[in-house]
Chain A
Amino acid sequence: MIGLDVMIIILIMIAVGGVLICAGVFFMPVGGAPAAMSTATGIATGCEMMAAGAGITGLLMSAALYGQPSYIVILNAGISSAIMMCITMLVANFIVIFGKGVPPALATVEKDPVTKENVKPFVTPGTVGHGVPTASYVSGFIGAFLGGIGGALTFIPILRVALSISQGQTLNVNVLLGAFTVNAGHQHVPLFVLAGICALSMYFINANIAAYSIRGVIEGWWDPKFKRLPKTAITCFVASLVFGMLALLLLNSEAFITVLKMVRGG
């Protein structure tokens, strides 16, 4: 059985991860379908899918670094997601600039919040900006970084709990957060699958709340819609707690523990 202190830490990790995923979506410059027509600033995808796409790169990185201390896994997952997002935004700019011949521009503000340049003259009348200007780029970088951290925060506890039960180790805070010495073999694959799919589910649950809150289009942290973040973050916190409890129920169930002990046997 999992001790109460460990359970509380797992719940907090999952809930904070949910809030970070939500905040990450708010930072991402998502333009939705209009962005694909150069009618809006940002990347041309739904926020939920962009967040998931970036987060998955972080999840894969956390799976590869399963044995490292938690803070290293989390940092690396954030960097992986940010790399994915930055390359995507860069190439989106390439296509907007060389494919359509439009310079990147913002519409909601007069001056770019990062470079302090005047961006208004570059906006085509009848549109709300195009491409990914520097401020949106930085915002997207922050968003993907937060999202990657959030994904890793849901991935690590589930994986560590399953791994430690299957190894027959007593579960304590050190096992959860510190380095974990195990050589992942074929018998451990199902535990990675479980943690991965739970983290993916948490991604969709939280990113969706944020996506509905910003109604699909946001430019960055200066956008008026960004003010909705606190309320949305509370909702994400509660939703993550609820689904974190479901995950804990699963990890605590007798059937599951029996199966995990089988894993140790091979």
Chain B
Amino acid sequence: MDPSFVLLVLLGIFALIVLLITIGEWFEDIESDMGSQSNPNSQVQLAPQVGVLHRLFNKAISGEPVSQGLNGVIGATLFTILWWGLKWHPVLAIAIAAAITTLFHMSLATTAHVGRITSANVFGQPLYYDVIITQLPLIASHAFILTSALIAVSYLFYNVFFATITIGPETSITLGQYLGYPIAIPLLGLLLGITAGAIGSSTGDVHYGAEREFQHAPYGEGVPMGLHGYITVKAEVGYRMSMDVAYFCAKYGGPLTGFTYGMIILLDNLRLFIGNIMNNVVVNVAIGATILVILIIFNRYLERWARNKFGPYS
């Protein structure tokens, strides 16, 4: 087999990893918005205290990193058992493992919502069953996509590391020298899940928390402290449910969140990849430093552009 063909296959696997991570992270953000998890949750929690009763899902399963880490690690554990222990086909094992994981996630979501709403009983916040029943399958389905993406990527990283391709009678190429990590799948799932949550809550949440949650406040300014808790509870028609948030955030916050994680996996592994192909660690470091400088300059440009366009607060 031609060595350049091996390289091509490797690039294909790499592209698949980036694609899976991007889609998974995109849905991670929508999943967290669907239940007002993480940062925007503070406003949903505060709303009954200032007299704003709502019909939103209060999914306070800790911050996103913890809960997505749990999704990743449970899914990866189940996958390891099905794939390694019971010798199932990986694709089937990924689907079944992610499906069982959603049971854990739904259970946590239900206890969180019911517990938080019940603890707001002194403010007269009612507990609506239909809010739970409508939103739970949506939360589960979005979590399913994220979990299967995390498991699939863990599987690819782990297996590529140990894969060897025979290219001649005497020679063979170990793919692990280019791509992949020698870490067991459950731990890899945990690590990728925590990172997914950290990215999702620091980027995508801003779109929900700053814009969608305070849509009755003027566009183009930060939310003043005095407005905290007075969230938008009315939808286009009737009262707003958490699924009304999802389609809004799926337009901008979700894709950008997916883009972030995809970029991180892409750039970080790309510099490892190129450095390994050239068999020189200096290339590695040089590419990394270049990327960082470009990012800092780009952020500076973006900041100046925004300040010039928007002008000072008036």
Contacts and interface: CB of A to CB of B under 8 A. Distances in A.
Interface string B223-260: 11111100000000000000000000000110011011
Contacts of B184: 189-190, 192-193
Contacts of A35: 39, 206
Given A84-B268, A87-B295, A130-B222, A53 B39 contact: no
B264 A37 contact: no
B222 A54 contact: no
A36 interface: yes
A72 B283 CA distance: 12
Interface string B270-286: 00100000000100110
Given A36-B206, A37-B210, A189-B182, A93 B222 contact: no
A37 B194 contact: no
Contacts of B224: 39, 124-127
Secondary structure dominating the interface of A: helix
Nearest to A38: B222
Contacts of A72: 281, 285
Contacts of A88: 198-199, 202-203, 260, 264
A33 B213 CA distance: 13
B279 to A, nearest CB: 12
B21 to A, nearest CB: 12
Contact of B306 (A87, A89, A104): A104
A35 B256 CA distance: 17
B204 interface: yes
A87 B198 contact: no
5 contacts: A44-B201, A83-B268, A87-B260, A94-B256, A102-B220
Interface of B: 38-43, 63-66, 161-162, 174, 176, 180-184, 187, 190-191, 194-195, 197-199, 201-211, 213-214, 219-228, 252-253, 256-257, 259-260, 263-264, 267-268, 272, 281, 284-285, 288-289, 291-292, 295-296, 298-300, 302-303, 306-307, 310, 312-313
